[in-house]
Chains A and B, each alone.
Chain A
Amino acid sequence: MLIQQLINGVLASGIYALFAVGFTMIFGIMGVLNMAHADFGMVAAVAIIWCVGAGVAPLPAVVVAAVVMLLIALIVERTALRPGRRYSGDAAVEMPLIASIGAGMILQNGAAVIFGNKALVFPLRLRGFFHVGDYLVSQGLALSLVVSAVLLAGLEVLVSHTGFGRQVRAVAQNRNAAEIMGINTERIILLAFAISALLAGVAGCLVGVSYGLVAPYMSIPYAIKGLVAMIVGGVGSLPGAVIGALLIGLAEALTVNWLGSQLRDVGVFAVLMLVLAIRPAGIFRLAAVR
């Protein structure tokens, strides 16, 4: 039973990692928390439901959903986050934080108005299991883990080994210096934001693939877990976000095993408090994407 729960924890951590990496990437580069981040996942998932419901084939539906989600994400960036960059000090942090909470609420309530405040069946679900020895592995969650691992490995290569990644790291470490080095920092921020939104979009769809259902308010628990994973790993660190996600996935699974599923989040927050007590800046102490 314990090993089965540990397997479940590892599998679930893939989706958490995608959300956490997006959060940490935006915080590392822009210095703000985008509280609407996980809602991009919901938008992508319900957009696929809407497209498939309208008779669009699955693959084109994914493309349409990605475009719709990216457009919405860019509107959120332009209206909720970008204005804060005109300010310095607390206003530069607080203004986008509050504005993005508002943007998230608009997206959630907007989806609830359009699709109803209910769980929606995701058309591209994978609900079967396969055996690994004596243990059951969810096909959907296994796919999620593989997709997450591939995307995050690709992101690591992009950030650490390409010219674009060098510019991203430069902007994250010193935006003024990047600008005077000829880097169009607004363009880099926008591209990084789009990448993080795509990661959230994929994560939202993987929730649908793995669990079969999505809902207008589904993003709230994923936003919390993504944020906790980011903080546990060390804000601004991409590897830290992945390690954080793995830790909270395991903590959640162990809590379910020992205390029951009603208390699954207790383990998540216990890990958060423990890490904050021992290493207040997180496991990977960084404040900028590297």
Chain B
Amino acid sequence: MTAALRIDNVTVSYGAICAVRDAALTVAPGEAVAVIGSNGAGKSSLLRGVMNLASRTGRITFQGQQLESLRPHVIRRAGIGYVPEGRELFPNLTVQEELTLGARMIPRADRPQMLEQVFGLFPRLRERAKQVTRTLSGGEQQMVAIARVLMGKPTLLLLDEPSLGLAPVIQDVVFAALDQLRTAERLSMLLVEQNAYRALALCSRAYVLETGTITREDSCETLRNDPAIRSAYLGH
């Protein structure tokens, strides 16, 4: 079976600084995979490398298609939805406008249904539809960041620290939505998350990234029960 995403020997660098070295990972269709690691381990750089937002070498294929020479907007149109760290919303656009922008790549006739689906996932956004995004709370902004990507019906979702800066109760909402996408929609996901507890609970398989190098790959259940992982990333 062709992997949804395959990364081989990928190195991501910023000038002379190497953020990720010779990384290799796969995400199977419908699979949710986590990358856990401490702050500065290179998790965000790995996703930026996939999206061609940072200089990288190596081989990246999405559903068999090579991505190395493609610009970010082409990668998005190929079916990879990217929710960046810090959300990267358009501060003066309304929620409705953000969602409409996200829906540009699906047929016009499908958009109302998709909008209902997204509002079903994040009911709060229906109430906030006319509000400009800079006036939303952090949690609502995170919902917009995920929802606008979903509007384009991606086949693979790249999520960079979706729990960052959110209160636990809002994290529950966001991760419940992601869990629904994983189970009901069978959406492939690559989740990069400092909150290892959340990541290992959501995904089936995970990679551990330490100072730019992938040091381990295993099922989330195994990692959750591993004393070294528990001590380093789960706080007990």
Q: Does A261 contact B (CB under 8 A)?
A: no
B97: Cβ under 8 A from any A Cβ: yes
B116 to chain A, nearest CB (A): 20
Q: Could you tell me if A181 and B84 are in contact, using CB atoms closer than 8 angstroms?
A: no
Which chain A residues border B88 with CB–CB below 8 Å?
174, 176-177, 180
User: B30 near A: Cβ within 8 Å?
Assistant: no
Task: List residues 74-98 of chain B with CB under 8 A from any CB of chain A.
Answer: 76-77, 82, 84, 88-93, 97
CB of B100 within 8 A of CB of A173, answer no
**B51 CB–A CB distance under 8 Å:** yes
From A44-52, A121-129, A182-190, the one touching the partner chain is A182-190
State whether B101 touches A166 (Cβ < 8 A).
yes
Determine if B92 and A173 form an interchain contact, defined as CB atoms under 8 angstroms apart.
yes
Tell yes or no: A94 within 8 A of B by CB: no
Knowing A180-B53, A183-B101, say if A170 contacts B72 (CB, 8 Å).
no
A184 to B53, CA, bound (A): 14
Bound: A85/B102 CA distance, A: 25
A-B contact pairs, 22 of them (CB 8 A): A169-B92, A170-B93, A170-B101, A173-B91, A173-B92, A174-B90, A176-B88, A177-B88, A177-B89, A178-B73, A179-B53, A179-B71, A179-B73, A180-B73, A180-B76, A180-B82, A181-B73, A181-B152, A182-B104, A182-B152, A183-B101, A184-B71
Known: A163-B104, A166-B101, A183-B73. A177 touches B90 (CB 8 A): yes
Question: If the complex has contacts A167-B101, A173-B92, A288-B92, are A185 and B73 also in contact, measured as CB distance less than 8 A?
Answer: yes
B93–A166 CB distance below 8 A: yes
A177→B101 CA distance, assembly (Å): 11
A166, A177, A180 interface centre (most CB from chain B within 10 Å): A180
Cβ of B148 under 8 Å from chain A: yes
In the complex, the answer to whether B51 meets A173 with C-beta atoms within 8 Å is no
Chain A positions 241-290 with a Cβ under 8 Å from a chain B Cβ: 288, 290
* A179 pairs with B72, CB closer than 8 A: yes
A181 to B145, CA, bound (A): 10
Q: Is B105 an interface residue when CB atoms closer than 8 A count as contact?
A: yes
Mark contacts of B139-152 with chain A using CB atoms, 8 A cut-off: 1 yes-contact digit, 0 otherwise. 00000000011001
A272 to B13 Cα, complex, angstroms: 45
CB atoms of B101 and A180 under 8 A apart: no
Seed contacts A167-B101, A173-B90, A288-B92; 4 additional CB < 8 Å A-B pairs: A177-B89, A179-B76, A180-B88, A185-B73
Residues on A with beta carbons closer than 8 Å to the beta carbon of B104: 163, 181-183
| Across-interface contacts of A173 in B (CB, < 8 A) | 90-93
* A contact patch SS: helix
**Chain B residues with a Cβ closer than 8 Å to the other chain, count:** 24
Q: How far is the CB of A186 from chain B (nearest CB, A)?
A: 8
Chain A residues whose C-beta falls within 8 Å of the C-beta of B71 in the assembled complex:
179, 184
**Cα-based distance from A30 to B115 in the complex (angstroms):** 31
| Chain A residue at minimal CB-CB distance from B52 | A179
* Chain B contacts with A in 9-42, Cβ cutoff 8 A: none
A185 / chain B contacts, CB cutoff of 8 Å:
73
Residues from chain A with a CB closer than 8 A to the CB of B82 are: 180
- Quote the shortest CB–CB distance from A127 to chain B (angstroms): 44
Q: Check B77 against A169 for contact (C-beta < 8 Å).
A: no
- Give the Cβ gap from B236 to chain A, nearest Cβ, in Å: 36
Distance in angstroms from B79 CB to nearest chain A CB is: 10
Chain A residues contacting B77 (CB-CB under 8 Å) are 182
From the candidates A163, A169, A184, name the one contacting B90 in the complex (CB within 8 A): A169
Contacts of A179 in B (CB 8 A): 53, 71-73, 76
Task: Give chain A residues whose Cβ lies under 8 Å from the Cβ of B73.
Answer: 178-185
CA distance A185 to B148 in the complex (A): 18
Separation of A179 and B93 alpha carbons in the complex (Å):
16
The residue on B at minimum CB distance from A290 is B92
Residue of A nearest to B88 (CB): A177
Residues A182 and B76 in contact in the complex (CB < 8 Å), given A176-B53, A177-B84, A177-B88: yes
Complex Cα–Cα for A173 and B132 (A): 13
Distance in angstroms between the alpha carbons of A109 and B194 in the assembled complex: 59
CA distance A173 to B152 in the complex (A): 20
Query: Which A210-243 residues have a C-beta within 8 angstroms of B?
Result: none
A177 to B53, CA, bound (A): 11
How many Å lie between the Cα of A156 and that of B45 in the bound state? Answer: 39
CB nearest to A288 among chain B residues: B92
